Copies of this chain bind each other. A is one copy, B any other.
Amino acid sequence: MVNKSIDCVFCENKSVCFNELTPQELSEINKNKVEISYKKDETIIKQNSFASNIFFIKKGLVKIYLESKDRDLIIEIGGKSKMLGLTSLNHTKYYKFSVVAIEDVVLCQINIEIINKIMLTNQYFNNQVISNLNTTIEKILNKLFCISHKQLQGRLADALICFSDEIYNNNKFTLGVSRKDLADITNMATENVVRILKEFNDKKIIKLAGKNIEIINYVELKKLSS
């Protein structure tokens, strides 16, 4: 759904990326962007489709994941200020991942050509993009390490800490994803997610009521994670 979008110049939700743009550059982006709303469960990016746009999330959460025949792997849960599609900059024609809204989402879509053009003229913006790519690399390496070196308890502890510290910014939250999604985040069987959540609940590390989770013993969770 296309929104009546506000002018980028006055937008309150701008990423730090856009902070140092000149009024002309902002206006150029404004002319070449569309704001779109997605309902929960709608697909935003489909893996292997042509990559011609960069997405900038203004509101809501998305899951970014790799699709395969048997099983998905969720790379990241992204929220406000997350940029999607930078990995296709100057490089690959296709998106290498899928993105689906796990809440109602509002985002701005900007043509990749415009982004490229502004990177040429604005060095601050260029640096921000590179910074963004490097953060992505760090996050994926972290995930690679987590999945390859930690056991189930540690992986799930990591995921819970991430939801608390980075996604909901609250030790008490209502999980926006299913047990199956938690399994795709931590690369384990759904049944084991259920079992380990229960185990954490029994050990009074978390307080569990369906999708409502409260982290009670953060220290213990951190210990499990390492």
Contact = CB atoms under 8 A, between A and B. Distances in A.
Copy number in this complex?
2
Interface residues of A, number: 37
A123 B123 contact: no
A143 B144 contact: yes
A147 B145 CA distance: 10
B120 A71 contact: no
A162 interface: no
Contacts of A131: 90-91
Contacts of A123: 120
Contacts of A130: 89-91, 129-130, 133
A140 B134 contact: no
B89 A141 contact: no
Contacts of A96: 138, 141
A21 interface: no
Interface of A: 66, 68, 70-71, 73, 75, 87-92, 96-97, 119-120, 123, 126-127, 129-131, 133-138, 140-141, 143-145, 147-149, 187
